[in-house]
Structure 1
Amino acid sequence: MTTVAVLVESRGGEATQPTHEAITLARTLGTPVAVWLGAAPDPAQNARLGIHGATEVRVVPAAEDARQPARAAAALAAATADADIVLMISTFVNKEIATRLALLTGAGVVVDAAGVELVDGHVETLQTVFAATWNVRTRIAAEKAIVAIRPNTTLASPAEETGAATTVVVDAELPEVPEVIASVEPVPAPEGVPLAEAPVVVSGGRGTNGDYTLVRELADLLGGAVGASRDATDEGWISHEHMVGQTGTTVTPALYVACGISGAVHHRGGMQASGTIVAVNIDPDAPIFEIADFGVVGDLGDVLPQAIAHIEKHRAG
């Protein structure tokens, strides 16, 4: 049976939702095992990973300080020596880890995949490229495959047979690197789900005129995250970590709501692969309407309050 290793992304000692998505995907490819870099997780985490199908949690304690991709790749190589497929969430750091792991193991690597499947005994991935204007299917010819998968591309679900995953400690020799981390100061995370992982994203652009009150209210109501266009972040209306675009965060939510965003190529490249796109813009010729599944021509100051009121009324029953 094919062994599929999944690198666990954790936040505050807990595996993230995209990790559970990746383990769910791994079940369709073979037998999932989770890889945890750092101190062993508590039994509750093992149970959650087991519920989604992980049969083992391979812990590499030496990797607790492996913030450098070279050290993380070496730790992952030791923990996945028997794995035919390695899955990880497609983040900036993990893309570099995936590349370094491929160099160490001679594996084939694909990042920013939107799907993975086995075809004729080979791993094939689905991707959207060139600002989401092309759909590409890639076959990995190497014996070992490494795939960085985008969040929100698989619906996390419990396995039919569940149980707490067995903990296996893996010894690994991490390489010396020319950099030394002098200090680590965590940046306070914004409230709610991170932008890249959110199933719903409500973004505001120049049409907000710097007032994100309605955008935030709609995002909170839908349980989503707040995004922004580059124009809005350049104006200083909202911080850079909210920027959606080719040089910002690439998102693939089930629902993307663009409010007062014209839809320049830079922005579209970061959100065009979303499941359903809703656009609100006062300009009927705005490029965003070319890719929107549902468009409303109007001022967001008029449209969003009505949308919020109708959603609240519907939920009230």
Structure 2
Amino acid sequence: MSVLVIAEHDNSSLKSATLNVIAAAQQIGGDITVLIAGKDCSGAAEEAAKAQGVSKVLKADADVYGHQLGENLAALVVELGKDYAAILTSAGTTGKDFMPRVAALLDVAQISDIIRVEAADTFVRPIYAGNAIATVKTSDAIKVITVRPTGFDPVSGEGGSAAIEDCSVVKDAGVSSFVREELAKSDRPDLSGAQIVVSGGRGMQNGENFEMLYKLADKLGAAVGASRAAVDAGFVPNDMQVGQTGKIVAPQLYIAVGISGAIQHLAGMSESKVIVAINKDEEAPIFQVADYGLVADLFEAVPQLESAV
């Protein structure tokens, strides 16, 4: 058995979620090949070659893969994936774009967002916003799988010595083109991989009040997130959203401020190691999952916490 892992990267470097996906691939078993598809992506390929457990790295370096458009990437993966028993990638934005296309073109079912591997053909995944856990067994010859990174401990990014092979396959579907991207820049840690996350909800009342969370986060070395209610209200941009339709996080410490605890939000952060909730409503559902809860006015509690750190 052999497994193909489609790496997440920015061409120059590997994204940390790929190391979690490699860990999932190891549990399936067999030789692991990592595909780096991009433009001028030698840096990412070299990082992938150092990851523990990787047997080979395929580097598809071409203009058509520069921005990892779903149509082009799917065509490449289908061409290469026919030789593998399983195809895995992270259940992030890119994976959610191209992997369903891969499954459709291969005429197999996609198994989405797995959090555990029971056997080479049996996987565990959350359903109903994490309120139920399903065990799925597939008889498909090729398993097409997206992995929830927080469900697997990452492999080491050092110590490996996989060979890097150039892949000459160029697939341009010709149906989409890259126009532009607008990236949010911040000195704080990336939300998806942060060890500490401070999140605000509708209780923050407006975007200006998030400043107190930014100050607390800067002292803690934390990322700042938000509930969907805060994003929909226009308090913060949607790249800060944590939840079922936002980012899935599992930090060592998650501080929920003014967040009621709707199931859609809990689905994105319930795997956090320690959860601290601050809310003036003692009946708020967030307290049911919190390890520590403070029933208090956040506008008093957060500045006190920030000054004590």
Partner of 2:153: 155
Equivalent position amino acid for 2:70 in 1: P
Provide, for residues 142-176 of structure 1, a one-character-per-residue CA deviation record: whole Å limited to 9, x for no partner.
Answer: 121121112222222328x9333211122324253
Check 1:195–1:174 CA distance in 2 against 1; reply closer, same or farther (3 A cut).
same
Could you list the runs of 5+ residues in structure 2 that have no partner in the other structure? Answer: none
Check 1:180–1:10 CA distance in 2 against 1; reply closer, same or farther (3 A cut).
closer
Partner of 2:127: 129
TM-score in terms of structure 1 length: 0.84
Residue correspondence of structure 1 range 18-33 to structure 2 within 5 A: 18-30=17-29, 31-33=31-33
Q: CA deviation at 1:104?
A: 2.4
Equivalent position amino acid for 1:51 in 2: A
Equivalent position amino acid for 1:299 in 2: D
Partner of 2:164: 167
Q: CA deviation at 1:193?
A: 3.3
Could you list the runs of 5+ residues in structure 1 that have no partner in the other structure? Answer: 313-317
Equivalent position amino acid for 1:177 in 2: G
Q: CA deviation at 1:299?
A: 2.2
The whole-number CA distance in structure 2 between the counterparts of 1:66 and 1:185 is: 10
The whole-number CA distance in structure 1 between the counterparts of 2:122 and 2:215 is: 40
1:7–1:88 contact (8 Å) kept in structure 2: yes
The whole-number CA distance in structure 1 between the counterparts of 2:201 and 2:276 is: 14
1:66–1:72 contact (8 Å) kept in structure 2: no
Equivalent position amino acid for 2:237 in 1: S
1:47–1:164 contact (8 Å) kept in structure 2: no
- Give the superposed CA RMSD: 2.7
SS at match of 2:275: strand
- Please tell me whether residue 206 in structure 1 is matched to residue 202 in structure 2: yes
Partner of 1:315: none
Q: How many aligned residue pairs are there?
A: 305
Partner of 1:192: 188
The whole-number CA distance in structure 1 between the counterparts of 2:172 and 2:282 is: 57
Partner of 1:295: 293
Equivalent position amino acid for 2:163 in 1: T
SS at match of 1:152: helix
The whole-number CA distance in structure 2 between the counterparts of 1:185 and 1:283 is: 40
- Please tell me whether residue 267 in structure 1 is matched to residue 265 in structure 2: yes
Equivalent position amino acid for 1:217 in 2: K
Residue correspondence of structure 1 range 236-275 to structure 2 within 5 A: 236-275=234-273
Report the identity percentage: 29
- Please tell me whether residue 96 in structure 1 is matched to residue 93 in structure 2: no
Provide, for residues 213-264 of structure 1, a one-character-per-residue CA deviation record: whole Å limited to 9, x for no partner.
Answer: 3322333344432111233223332222212234433434443221111123
2:4–2:32 contact (8 Å) kept in structure 1: yes
